Amino acid sequence: MIIFGHRGAPGYPRRGENTMASFQKALYCGATGLEFDVRRCGDGRLVVIHDDTIDRTTNGRGRVENLSYKELQRFDAGNGEPVPLLTNVLDQFGGQCLLNLELKDAGIASVVKNLILERRLERQVIVSSFEWQELPQLTPEIPIGLLSSKLQDLFPAAREFGASAIHPRRDLVSGSLIATAREAGLRIHAWTVNDPDEIRRFRNLEIDGIFTDFPERCSTPAS
């Protein structure tokens, strides 16, 4: 079971999310993959941040799309670190573990694809989105995963778009769903799994992977 550190390891004690330190902490805590979010900032560069504003995750305010990276660097995203560039995250962690990049903006897939291929990381990544139509241009070179909070149309869309994986919300996942995914040749990764009993349940179901804020809970004997 792949353990994706969800935005790194942002669980208590809080160390920030989607920061270089959070990613490093996730690996230290036993994560075998990292999940993070990608947006375009005001100067066109791709940055790693979940929200469309910096209000919640930094000590600043404003919309990501309205701030240049030079401006973003002025704000603390956790432990004194700025919001990282996608290129920095790829360069630092691309050779260490599996990376799941979630596209948060429309129209950035081609740039993401080029950055991945330039670094020859296509076997080290999977790119996901709730907006499935953003993903097909990445294939067949780069694996894609369909994020979803419902099962309707998930398997037909996975076939249509050439997905390698489906990423359903954790409460949608059952043994039968995993079996159906296996029959379709799809990996299945559930989000976001933080409860130790639920972690153990997914391990027993032999799911392919989970996203968690607490990677250390996945490496204990009880899990």
- pLDDT at position 184 is 97
- Beta-bridge mates of residue 45: none
- pLDDT at position 79 is 87
Catalytic residue among 7, 25, 40, 50: 50
Q: Which two tokens stand for residue 142?
A: 């780069």
Catalytic residue among 6, 39, 167, 170: 6
Q: Mean pLDDT, to the nearest integer, of 12-34? A: 89
Q: What is the mean pLDDT of the chain?
A: 95
Q: Which residue has the tokens 């004690």?
A: 13
6 belongs to the catalytic site = yes
pLDDT beyond 60 at 87: yes
Contact, 218 vs 211, CB < 8 A?
Answer: no
Q: Mean pLDDT, to the nearest integer, of 115-133? A: 98
Q: Which residue has the tokens 């790693």?
A: 48
pLDDT beyond 80 at 14: no
pLDDT beyond 80 at 61: yes
Under the banding of pLDDT at 50, 70 and 90, the label for residue 222 is: low
50 belongs to the catalytic site = yes
DSSP 117-170: HHTT-TTSEEEEESSGGGSGGGTTTS-EEEEESS-TTHHHHHHHHT-SEEEEBG
Q: How far apart are CA 181 and CA 85, in angstroms?
A: 34
pLDDT beyond 90 at 219: no
Under the banding of pLDDT at 50, 70 and 90, the label for residue 221 is: low
Q: What is the pTM of this model?
A: 0.95
- In terms of Cα–Cα distance, which of 165, 216, 210 is closest to 6? 210
Q: Mean pLDDT, to the nearest integer, of 16-40? A: 96
Q: Is 218 helix (H, G, I), strand (E, B) or coil?
A: helix
* Total length of the chain: 223
